[in-house]
Chain A
Amino acid sequence: MDNNKANSTTASDKLSAYRQPLAQGIRASIPIAVGYIPIAITFGLVAKSSGIPDYIALLMSFIVFAGASQFVGVSLIALGTNPWEIVLTTFILNLRHFLMTASLSMRIDPSVSKAWRYLIAFGVTDETFSVSSLQKEKLLSPFFIVALNMLAFLAWNAGTWVGIFLASGLPASLQASMGIALYAMFIGLLVPALKESRPVLLVVMISIGINSALSWMPLSAGLSAGWRIILSTVLAALTAAFIFPEGAGGSKNE
């Protein structure tokens, strides 16, 4: 890998060219990993208590690696839903990842190989995407993204194992409180940005407003959570892009 790029960089440049983003990715991933463990434990507990075989829950964390999909999947399996409906619901729930990787793709150098892209794509979740896209650098190193994604992936899988094997041990009250972990993490990611940027505050308020309306109005009662999130996201981001064509502002946009 030392001789397939421009000769203008020295070996030590090359070394730091991946060491630094790798370390940076791991550092940026620690809060995600810590946030994932209780959620993944909860997932393991929920799966086990829904009567899902252990290997199915473990396989889900290993090859699906998407919290919302997995929780929805387990609850639909437990309800005996038709397999195609489960897969379709998962697909709808995951359409938002299309928007995320489209956005992430703009932050990746065009020279980054397909193999990297296959690897990067697997680890894109709401959380890893949010942390990646909130980085100040315009272009993100694939080492950074993959390190970030993989640590989150490891934590997610470790947590699932722990959850399955803890299933009967935890007091019921603490199990319930852990459901907040995912949201606390979203709040922790979002609140600092709300403080810094008016356009961001507006887009979040619109999105929450639309999602609440869709959730509570009888007219849209048949809409799945996945579609509600897709609709709220697209409408809110469109509205904000019309009102603030110059973007979120602040250092990120320069």
Chain B
Amino acid sequence: MNELLLIVVGMALVTYIPRLVPLLMLGNKQMPQFLSTFLQFIPYAVLGALIFPGVLSSTGDTSSAIAGAAAAAVLALIRLNIMLVVLGGILGAFFWGVVF
């Protein structure tokens, strides 16, 4: 196997293992209330950390990234379908880049 192939296989393993282990080991044993509350908050915390400040460098230009993110946030606030939110984000960033 060449080196690139080994890297990809290694990446696949270390991506799969954290996905699998809790599903096999934990079952749905009743967790202590605190732990379950903690886990309940995790998706929101992850989304927050994934969005910011990463979004600022998502387009290679901070102002167009802010424009795209703002467009997406407004569309999400008025509860448009998420497809339109994504499309609005892309177009927001694109047109900001074109105009300014």
Contacts and interface: CB of A to CB of B under 8 A. Distances in A.
A64 B52 CA distance: 24
Contact of B82 (A83, A183, A185, A199): A185
Interface of A is mostly: helix
B82 to A, nearest CB: 4
Given A59-B8, A236-B45, A247-B40, A105 B51 contact: no
Given A64-B8, A187-B76, A208 B37 contact: no
Interface stretch (A2-10, A12-20, A65-73, A157-165): A65-73
Given A102-B22, A102-B26, A173-B94, A233 B45 contact: yes
Chain B contact patch, size range: 35 or more
B40 to A, nearest CB: 5
Contacts of A186: 47, 50-51
A244 B19 contact: no
A144 to B, nearest CB: 15
Nearest to B57: A179
30 contacts: A30-B83, A56-B8, A60-B11, A88-B14, A94-B15, A94-B18, A95-B18, A101-B21, A103-B43, A117-B20, A118-B20, A120-B23, A122-B20, A126-B46, A176-B59, A176-B97, A177-B97, A183-B51, A186-B47, A188-B75, A190-B48, A204-B48, A207-B46, A211-B49, A212-B53, A237-B45, A238-B38, A241-B37, A247-B41, A252-B40
Interface of B: 3-12, 14-16, 18-24, 26-28, 31, 33-34, 36-55, 58-61, 64-65, 68-69, 71-73, 75-77, 79, 81-83, 85-86, 88-94, 97-98
